[in-house]
């Protein structure tokens, strides 16, 4: 679109007349960000405005909408746009090769860390009942889902592993408290998030 013709054609006047202007502004912010936006970040953006727009009410309005292709979700302490699950069949047609599934070992390790964090490698092995290859932790760390958050005050000072905000964002979890209860996991050792764990390289 030519900017000059847009201005001359009254596009901004149409926007100003839109009752959903603030929601549109919020959507633009969410679309422009690769990471969840917090309320503090949004407040800072709208703090410079003197037009009295109630961005918090507009945010609640967006959170209540779920009929379009995009849905706003509270994840990792902020808010992020996601494609509605109902459109998954069309996405799979576009990405014909499909994402690579994570191995069972990786999923089990991620589950143990998510539910028992912070946790050391020997403790992970104890929970899983098998030895843990370094490549499993490396794979999860490379995806940004886990990281070392300290060291256990025991001989050898083993590293303590925990999940990250990127983990929460990927699995659309507002907090770790939103993890499914262990009792509802059907497979006794499979991670509850396995249905969501198709990850593109």
| 77 and 144 fall within a common domain | no
- Asked if residue 95 belongs to a domain, the reply is no
- Asked if residue 65 belongs to a domain, the reply is yes
Tokens 């098998």 locate to 130
Tens-binned pLDDT, residue by residue, of the chain (201 aa): 333 333 333 333 333 434 478 888 888 888 888 888 888 888 888 886 655 568 888 888 888 776 678 888 888 888 888 878 787 788 777 776 655 678 889 999 999 999 999 999 999 999 888 888 888 999 899 888 999 999 998 888 999 999 998 898 888 888 888 888 875 444 444 444 444 455 443
- Asked if residue 49 belongs to a domain, the reply is yes
What residues are paired with 159 via a beta bridge? 151
Q: Where are the alpha helices (DSSP H) in 50-183?
A: 55-64, 88-94, 104-116, 121-128, 134-142, 165-170
Contacts (Cβ under 8 Å, ≥6 apart) of 8: none
Domain boundary, last residue among 89, 115, 144: 89
- Asked if residue 15 belongs to a domain, the reply is yes
| 60 and 121 fall within a common domain | no
pLDDT of 33: 86
Tokens 């509605």 locate to 84
- Asked if residue 108 belongs to a domain, the reply is yes
Tokens 């999940």 locate to 163
Contacts (Cβ under 8 Å, ≥6 apart) of 91: 83
Q: Which string of DSSP letters, residue by residue, matches 125-154?
A: HHHHTS---HHHHHHHHHTTSEEEEEE-SS
From CA 201, how far away is CA 50, in angstroms rounded?
Answer: 45
Pairing of strands 159-163, 146-151: antiparallel
Token duo for residue 26: 């919020």
pLDDT of 17: 34
| 113 and 169 fall within a common domain | yes
Show the domain range for 178: 100-199
pLDDT of 84: 80
- Asked if residue 70 belongs to a domain, the reply is yes
- Asked if residue 137 belongs to a domain, the reply is yes
Domain boundary, last residue among 45, 70, 89: 89
CATH number for the domain spanning 105: value is 1.10.10.10
Domain count, the chain: 2
| 124 and 195 fall within a common domain | yes
| 127 and 76 fall within a common domain | no
């Amino acid at each position: 679109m030519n900017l000059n013709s847009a201005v001359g054609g009254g596009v901004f006047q149409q926007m100003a007349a839109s009752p959903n202007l603030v929601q549109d502004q919020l959507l633009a912010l969410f679309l422009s960000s690769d990471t969840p936006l917090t309320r503090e970040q949004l407040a800072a953006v709208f703090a410079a405005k003197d037009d009295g727009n109630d961005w918090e009410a507009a945010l609640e309005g967006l959170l209540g909408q779920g009929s379009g292709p995009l849905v706003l979700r509270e994840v990792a302490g902020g808010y992020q746009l996601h494609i509605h699950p109902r459109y998954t069949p069309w996405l799979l047609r576009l990405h014909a090769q499909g994402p690579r599934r994570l191995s069972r070992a990786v999923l089990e390790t991620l589950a143990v860390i998510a539910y028992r964090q912070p946790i050391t490698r020997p403790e992970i092995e104890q929970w899983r009942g098998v030895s843990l290859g370094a490549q499993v932790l490396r794979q999860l760390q490379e995806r940004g889902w886990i990281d070392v958050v300290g060291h256990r005050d025991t001989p050898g000072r083993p590293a303590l592993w925990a999940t990250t905000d990127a983990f929460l964002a990927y699995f659309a979890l507002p907090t770790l408290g939103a993890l499914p209860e262990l009792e509802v996991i059907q497979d006794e050792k499979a991670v509850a998030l396995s249905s969501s764990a198709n990850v593109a390289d």
